[in-house]
A and B are shown apart, each in its own frame.
Chain A
Amino acid sequence: MPMKRVLVNEPVCMGCHLCEVYCQLNHSTSSDLVKAFKRPEHQNLPRLRIEARNPIFFSLRCQHCAEAPCISACLTGALSRDEKSGAVITDEAKCIGCWTCILACPYGAIKQDTVKHKSVKCDLCQGSKIPACVEHCPNEALVFEEVAEVKSK
């Protein structure tokens, strides 16, 4: 199934971490950046991370694999594929924090939320037209594109 994914134009990723900042904001219960970071009740983890070894920077997140090992590994069925977007998403109610998905993920793209004791990962900002990281990348190093099209470039 062709689906849109977040791709990194690595030569212009400058490791500013703003994708993380806006990811965290978009997954917060507050839409105010300052509150999302400062108030404990609104805090959460960014669902991506920056791999940095100067001069290389790379904004890494879930690849939403066609055959996702995390879905197969999940003990409770908390991870599943969203039929509409093709994204691998987490049902927090079902997640028991066993971290099996983290062991299974070949990209290291799933994080432990040790406060809520749930696994968190990129959901391509379900409900938004463009993922927050892409929208706010100051150098347009992140693009949201159909994978098939990108391969043909």
Chain B
Amino acid sequence: MKTLVPPQFRVVRDPERCIQCQVCVNQCSFNAQYFDAEDKVVRTREENCVGCHRCAALCPTRALTITRNPMDYKANLNWKSGDIEDIWRQAESGGMLLTGMGNDKGYRIYWDHLLLNASQVTNPSIDPLREPMELTTYIGRKPDRVHVSADGVKLETTLAPQVKLEIPVMFAAMSYGAVSLNVHESLARAATEMGTLWNTGEGGLHETLYKYGQNTIVQVASGRFGVHSKYLHAGRVVEIKIGQGAKPGIGGHLPGEKVSADVALTRMIPRGSDALSPAPQHDIYSIEDLTQLIYALKEATNYTKPISVKIAAVHNSAAIASGMVRAGADIIVLDGLRGATGAAPKVIRDNVGIPIELALASVDSRLRQEGIRNQASLVISGGIRNSGDVAKAIALGADAVYIGTAALVALGCHVCQQCHTGKCAWGICTTDLGLTRRINPDIGAQRLSNLLRGWGLEIKDMLGGMGVNALESLRGNRLHLRGVGLSDTELEILGVRMAGS
């Protein structure tokens, strides 16, 4: 069937600059560039261009510019180009629309309506270049009370397993198979260097990465891919994945084309078979069932590792989170509306879930009201873009955050939303062995470490400005935040006062 969908992008080639070196041709994994051997010139198939900029970034003479295809429809605020073209795509395919990355709709980004405080006159700000600043964070269950020996030297309370983070930013779950082994290695090495954790996602841990176990969160999802005793013991934290912000209520779906020999071995499934995670965990139909899985994993790991439970931020997150803490979760992870994915139905990604800022505030408030906030650490993910977002999340009540998209962007991701095709031209979200080599783990680990180092410096600067010298003093301290452009209800849910008040 002839498609009615016009090309999304235009590839503009400056003929003055183009030297016909064909770097663009060999780097485009979507066949949008080709060499016309008869005329000996590089030409474009614009209908294939996804706007990933791989060609433009590697063009040695900067001869390429990618622009949006300026095809205008009759102005209509109800029927925008995306709505019209999505209908054409479905009329032509008869299927669900798949997409990658996070929600790209214009839902309010509350981080951009929250502002941090700084000290002036009445309390001094602190200069982090001259005075020590503490970002250290311990995640895991904290005791209700601490008993110290009579001489005041020895801690008599037995603490639940704690994990020390040098910076409260961890790398979010991205499974081997969705992303490549080189990406996993980059994340693992950067997490190890920076004293934080990375997360295997639901596809198991490649045997070459077991050596980074002390900085690894191993995930147990509904498909149980790659889960075995050695895997559970390898990690520092075990995470039960109930849901994902990009697709609440839906299980992971790794197409068979991405299940290469190595992925198959790690996931313990046949090569080339679709890896379909069930939508629910079939052994969890209630909070009591969750308790059973949490304690099964605690037993399996001899109570040496915190057990984390990750859910998508949905309407009843606060009540669900309360149940999760009571079920024995040591860490609660909330993944918000803008959390990303390697593949999800577009209608789910764009319409299901709630913004992470509201979920975080309501869960933190609820757990405090119930007096159980200490029993679990609160980690959030889904849309953290910079260190400002991190600081605001900590002030709203998070113990730490996960970054997924931000980490991939550090590796070169251009957020072109083609993850589900497995053809990522940046070599990130693919298992095509010709493409995965585009991520050099030496460079990848360095870029990720640099990002965290930069954010760490910025967070220290913000803390110093607020006049506090430890992240612990900001945690859950919503008086350090003020809202702008928010309604009374939004301010109430966020627990934040209006700027100026």
Contacts and interface: CB of A to CB of B under 8 A. Distances in A.
Nearest to A137: B440
B125 interface: no
Contacts of A140: 440, 442-443
A138 B16 CA distance: 24
Contacts of B58: 16, 18, 138
Interface stretch (B21-29, B68-76, B107-115, B230-238): B21-29
Given A14-B427, A16-B26, A21 B437 contact: no
Contacts of B19: 21, 33-34, 37-38
Interface residue SS majority, chain B: loop
Contacts of A17: 21-23, 26
Nearest to B14: A34
A12 B440 contact: yes
Interface size class of B (residues with CB under 8 A): 20 to 34
Interface in B406-462: 427, 432-435, 437-440, 442-443
A12 B437 contact: yes
B17 interface: yes
A141 B19 CA distance: 23
Nearest to B24: A16
Nearest to A138: B58
Interface in B18-52: 19-23, 26-27
A139 interface: yes
Contact of A33 (B60, B182, B438, B442): B60
A57 B427 CA distance: 15
A33 B14 CA distance: 14
B440 A34 contact: no
Interface string B276-309: 0000000000000000000000000000000000
Given A14-B438, A22-B60, A34-B16, A55 B23 contact: no
B61 interface: yes
Contacts of B17: 34
A37 B20 contact: yes
A37 B21 contact: yes
A15 B435 CA distance: 10
B119 to A, nearest CB: 44
Candidate in B16, B434, B437, B438 with the most chain A CB atoms within 10 angstroms: B437
A77 to B, nearest CB: 35
Contacts of A139: 437-438, 440, 443
A11 B437 contact: yes
A21 B443 CA distance: 22
Contacts of B23: 16-18, 21
Interface string B320-352: 000000000000000000000000000000000
A18 B60 CA distance: 8
Given A16-B26, A33-B60, A55 B437 contact: yes
Interface string A112-148: 0000000000000000000000001011110000000
Interface residues of A, number: 24
Interface in A1-31: 9, 11-18, 20-22
Contacts of A141: 440
A16 B58 CA distance: 8
B443 A55 contact: no
A37 B18 CA distance: 9
Nearest to B17: A34
Interface in B52-85: 58, 60-61
A17 to B, nearest CB: 6
B500 to A, nearest CB: 50
Given A15-B26, A18-B60, A34-B61, A55 B434 contact: yes
A54 interface: yes
A48 to B, nearest CB: 14
Interface in A28-66: 33-34, 37-38, 54-55, 57
A9 to B, nearest CB: 8
Nearest to B57: A138
A17 B27 CA distance: 10
Nearest to B182: A12
Contacts of B437: 11-14, 55, 57, 139
Nearest to A50: B26
A140 B442 CA distance: 9
Nearest to A53: B434
A38 B438 CA distance: 29
B144 to A, nearest CB: 51
A144 to B, nearest CB: 15
Contacts of B443: 139-140
Given A15-B26, A33-B61, A55-B433, A21 B440 contact: no
A21 B427 CA distance: 22
A9 B442 CA distance: 11
A48 B438 CA distance: 20
A141 B434 CA distance: 14
Nearest to A139: B440
A32 to B, nearest CB: 10
Candidate in A12, A22, A140 with the most chain B CB atoms within 10 angstroms: A12
Sorted nearest first, the 3 A-B pairs with minimum C-beta distance are: A55-B434, A55-B433, A37-B19
27 contacts: A12-B437, A12-B438, A12-B440, A14-B27, A14-B427, A14-B434, A14-B435, A14-B437, A14-B438, A15-B434, A16-B26, A17-B21, A17-B23, A17-B26, A18-B21, A18-B23, A18-B58, A18-B60, A21-B21, A21-B23, A55-B437, A57-B434, A139-B437, A139-B443, A140-B442, A140-B443, A141-B440
Given A38-B19, A54-B434, 19 more contacts: A9-B440, A11-B437, A12-B439, A14-B27, A14-B434, A16-B26, A17-B21, A17-B22, A18-B21, A18-B60, A21-B19, A21-B60, A33-B60, A34-B19, A34-B61, A37-B21, A139-B443, A140-B440, A140-B442
